[in-house]
Each structure stands twice: as structure tokens, then as C-alpha cells.
Structure 1
Amino acid sequence: ACKPVSSHPFKGNVDLKKLENVIKKYTGKKIPFIVVTVTCNSAGGQPVSMKNLKDVKKLASKYKIPVFIDAARYAENAYFIKKREKEYRNRTVKEIAHEMFSYADGCTMSCKKDAIVNIGGFLAMNSKRLYQKCSSFGILFEGFPTYGGMAGRDMEAIARGLYEGIDERYLEDRIGQVEYLGNKLKENNIPIIEPVGGHAVYVDVKRFLPHIKPEEFPAHALCCELYVESGVRAVEIGTLLAGRDETGENRIPKLEMLRLTIPRRVYTYRHMDVVVEGLKNLYKRRKEIKGLKMVYEPPILRHFTARFKPIRGEL
């Protein structure tokens, strides 16, 4: 997953050996659950194979630890399983999704992704006892369990979107548009994370801006430059997102990426060409791009509201 040009079809897979080592390290301490994110956003939108989901569940069961799926992009993951895992080529996306969730004890779902809605989400779990505990917190912070803080209109949209999100014609078109953008960027020598993921194309900023140190937030600097250049709003997945360790030092991730997330059912292929042109122009003058200095850092989730200024010169 940390090799940007590796063509491994399931770079979102959990490293089972590392997972077991972590479980053993914290034996006797409470590990409430294991989360598997499908597809894996922080690894370039890469999918998780059905075999890996099955193996994670088997390992977790050995240590009596529940498994939860972060299901925001479950339909895209199921589509990749159909295309890349030969045993599932003749299965429908719905059937594949059903099997995926059979290897979990519950899931979290941000419905703004694969349920194709503006707002909303849900928690689902097999344990009635756990559901009742979660519902109590829902009443305190969100609303009654029958609506969870969502308007009736939004719940209706989610109900519809869960069906439409697994339509294979829709998924082929949606993932095809992302692939088109990725291929166009490669044709123009823009370094990206490969293979192209399901919901976004990720630019490999370590290769794009090798002269900017991680502490100067190169991926976020590229985001700012892209917005000024072409009005395209991207997001950083790198040092800014990684936050600080217990000593107060910035965590330096293995991947420094600019994420080009494509909204569903919004843009045409011509819009993708505009994105390509913007990055082409920046790549030509990449040596002129400067890093950023953080001038305001919130205590938590700094990547959402931090503020910056150019280290040298103006953007």
C-alpha cells in the first residue's frame, strides 16, 4: 500500500501479521473492536479483498474481538471485488456486499458516499445489547432512534440511495470517470497512486514536489496552488492529516498525497480535463511552488480548520 506505483489489486488489505502483533502487544488491555475501511481512503482509495475480510474476521474471532466495517464506500469495494477477485466475477454487487458484511459484527456508514445523499448516516450491529447502549447516546446527542437527527426527506433519500448505489451500470460509469482522470494524469506524466481507486485519484506529492520538506506540508501547498490555478478544490492526505505524536512532533506518513475526490453524478468528462490542465500547468512550474507555515493549529482534527501562510513569497 505504501508503494505508489505498485499494481497490487487490493492495496487496502489489512496486514494480518501486523494486526496479530498489535493484538498480542495489548493482550489483557481492552481492544473494543477492529475497523476495516472499504475502500481505504488513507491508502489511496484502495479496495479490500473478500479473502482479506474473511481472514480478518477469523483472526478477530480467535481473540474474541468484534469487527466493524467502515462502509462509506462499500459498494465501490464490492465492485472492485467483482472485477479483480476471480471467484466473484459472476456474482452481483448486491450479493458480494451481502457476503462482505457477513464477516463483520457491525458497520458505520456515512451515507454521503455510497448512498449518494447530501447528509446522514447510521450505525448497524448484530448485538441487540450494544445497539441499546448506542441508542442511549443517540438520544442524548442526535435524536430518537427512529430518525437519529435526520429529517424525513433525508431518510427517504438514503433508502433510495442504498438501492441505487449498488446499480452496476452506475458503478461502472462512476468508477470509469475516476479511472479516466487517473489515466489522463498519467499520460501527462503527473505522478499518481496506482492503481486508481474508486472515489478519487491521488497525486503522489513526494514525486510532484520533492523539494518541499514534509514539515512544510507539501500536499496542502499543492492543494492551495491548484485552487488558485484552476478553481479545483482538492484535499491533503499527508503530514497535516497525520497530526502530532505524543512528543508534539509532526507524524511523517509514508505517503504524501493530494486527493482529487469526484462527486457522484455531478461532473462530465470535460470537467476532468479541466483538472488535468490545472495540474499540468502546476507541474511545469513545480520547482517554484513553496511550502506552508501553520499559523493556527486547533487542538484536535487540525486538518479541518488550521490556517497557513506561504513560507516564502505569495501564493
Structure 2
Amino acid sequence: MKDLPYAEPYKTKMVEYMRPSTIEERKQWIKEADYNLFNLSSDKVFIDLLTDSGTGAMSDKQWAEMMVGDESYAGSQSYLKLRDTVRRITGFQYFLPTHQGRAAENVLFSVLVNDGDIVPGNSHFDTTKGHIEFRKASVVDCTIDEAFNTTVFHPFKGNVNIEKLENSLKLNAGKVPFVIVTITCNSAGGQPVSMENIRAVSEVCKRRHIPLLIDAARFAENAYFIKMREDGYGDKSIKEIVKEFFSYTDGMTMSAKKDGLVNMGGFIALNNEEVYKKASVFSIMFEGFKTYGGLNGRDMGALAVGLDEATEFDYLHSRIGQVAYLGELLV
């Protein structure tokens, strides 16, 4: 018998009733939806495994923030709380909230991406690729070959192939506004990227004076895999690991609906003041004033708490352990 996964490190204070259905009902509903599950209404789905993006429950401390949110248009205390949390966890000094991850891409890429540019990375997420191509630029996938071979084990299948990256930068000299690394690599099976690989990509970028950005939707999960799989990190906390890999980069975009543990939200974080100021203009155009960026104050407060809770080992160990347990049973 396989070992049971680590127990959930929380108590359940609220439940949501779901009506069980019969197989006959489900067959009829699927037929009426033209066999497209996206056409089903949520009340007809008893177990929903579509995505973790914004679909989970929030903690009691997050709900407490919902009650004390500062909804001021400018200078919101909830904004300041979130800004300071992002600075403490990531080390980046400049911060712009957005309503979700693709909005962060839209704002930042409006500054950085131009017609004819080339953006290398590891299996860009679909919205990342879409925002780049919308601006008449192109992406180059530099993911390692092992990522696409399901018959072999590799602890970090999200890694960037350094040789592919260097060749791409050499071939497209003068056309690369930045390199982007997605952690974990969602479009390649949600696979993690090692600290060694992030460091190596950073060194390549620094030699060529090219910024390195992180698509950080699942940054905490990636830190967990580094802790569990990479030599030298077993005794480090999740927050220490997070702080280290962000230190090798120049900025990040974030869909907070994943490792922010909220139902809606995102942000941009940077160390470049000039880029931040330019992005602020697009934030005002597309999202809202730079101290709310399309988010309610209560949502920013909940996100500030969520970022701290998502970077706790016990939470990650329980959630990822459950997924591993199910996967092993299916194998």
C-alpha cells in the first residue's frame, strides 16, 4: 500500500453543497453541451478538475482582510500592504497590481515588446505567447528535450536548454528585449525549473545585457520542488528559495490566481525604475490607477495574506503530496 499524503494543515470552517447526479443525467448534460465540457454550467460538475486558477477557497485570515479592505482610489492601505509583502517576498522594489496575469503581460509587454522582436523562453504560456505575437513579435521555445518525452524522468523538465538559448540570442542579436522563464512551466506539463538552471540563464542574459523576467504564476510550487529535488536546498525555507531565484532576475509577471491563493488578481514587480514608470502609464490606460490596477482593496489585502500562506512548506507539502499520491495510483 502506498504511503498516504501529508494531511491538510488546516481546518474546514465552511462547506458548499453540491447535488450528486446520475450517470443518465450526466450523459444528457454532455449531449446538450455538444460534448464540449466548457459549455457545461458549474452546477452540473460534481468534481471540477479544469484548473486551479482562481477556483480554490481562501483562508480565514484572507477573509478577514476582505472585511477591512481600503477602497480608496489612490494611496489605499490595502495596496501598501500588498506592495510591502511583494517587496519582502520577491525582493523587487517596484510594483504594479493588475486584475490577473494576462493583464500584467499586456501592461508590461506594451513597454518592452516591439514589431520584429524575438522572445526566447521555456514553453511560453498561451497568453504570454499571444501578447508577444499580437505585437508582431515571435517566441522561441528553448525548453530541454526531456520535457517532451513522457517515458523518461527528469527532476526539472521545465529547464531551459542553455545551448538553445545562447544560439537563439546569437542568431537574433539586437532583437531580444528580454528572456522569460515560466515557473513552473505550465505549457510543458507544469514542470519545475531548477535553481541551477535559473542561475545559468541569468548568467547568459547578463553577459549580453538582456533582462531576465519570470512568469511566476506558480513560483511557490517551483520553490517546493527545488527544496525537495535539488542538492543544497533541503534545509532552506520556501521563502529563502523564492528570494534567491528572484535575485537572479530583473522582474516578474504574476497571475495571483494560482500561488496567490485568491480568486482574482495579478501584478508586475521590477527593479528597473524607468520600465516601472513607463508601465505605470499603460496600467492607468488598461487597468486603473497604479495603486489599485483593476483590483478592489479587499482583494489586494487577501492577496497579501495569500502570498505568505502559499510560501509555507506545510501547505505546499500537503497539496503537492495529494497530487503525487493520485498520480502514483493512476500509474
Q: Same fold (TM over 0.5)?
A: yes
- SS of the equivalent of 2:267 reads strand
| Alignment pair present for 1:61 and 2:199 | no
Q: 1:81 aligns with which of 226, 236, 250?
A: 226
CA RMSD after TM alignment: 0.7
Report the count of equivalent residues: 185
Q: Distance in 2 between matches of 1:32 and 1:104?
A: 14
Q: Aligned residue for 1:11?
A: 157
Q: Distance in 2 between matches of 1:6 and 1:92?
A: 29
The correspondence of residues 132-211 of structure 1 with structure 2, limited to 5 A, is 132-186=277-331
Q: Distance in 2 between matches of 1:12 and 1:135?
A: 31
The correspondence of residues 108-123 of structure 1 with structure 2, limited to 5 A, is 108-123=253-268
| Alignment pair present for 1:33 and 2:33 | no
> Which ranges of structure 2 fall in alignment gaps of 5 or more residues?
1-146
- SS of the equivalent of 1:133 reads helix
Structure 1 outlier segments of 4+, above 4 Å:
none
Q: Aligned residue for 2:167?
A: 21
The correspondence of residues 294-313 of structure 1 with structure 2, limited to 5 A, is none
Q: CA deviation at 1:74?
A: 0.4
Query: Can you list the C-alpha shifts for 1:6-41, whole angstroms capped at 9, x where unaligned?
Result: 11101110000000111111113x211100001001
Q: Distance in 2 between matches of 1:120 and 1:94?
A: 21
Normalized against structure 2, the TM-score is what? 0.55
> Which ranges of structure 1 fall in alignment gaps of 5 or more residues?
187-315
Q: Aligned residue for 1:313?
A: none
Q: CA deviation at 1:138?
A: 0.2
Q: Distance in 2 between matches of 1:121 and 1:99?
A: 21
- SS of the equivalent of 2:180 reads strand
Q: Aligned residue for 2:245?
A: 100
Report sequence identity in percent. 57
Normalized against structure 1, the TM-score is what? 0.58
Q: CA deviation at 1:165?
A: 0.3
Structure with the larger RCO, 1 or 2 (CA within 8 Å, 6+ apart): 2
| Alignment pair present for 1:49 and 2:194 | yes
- SS of the equivalent of 2:169 reads helix
Q: Aligned residue for 1:208?
A: none
Q: Aligned residue for 1:306?
A: none
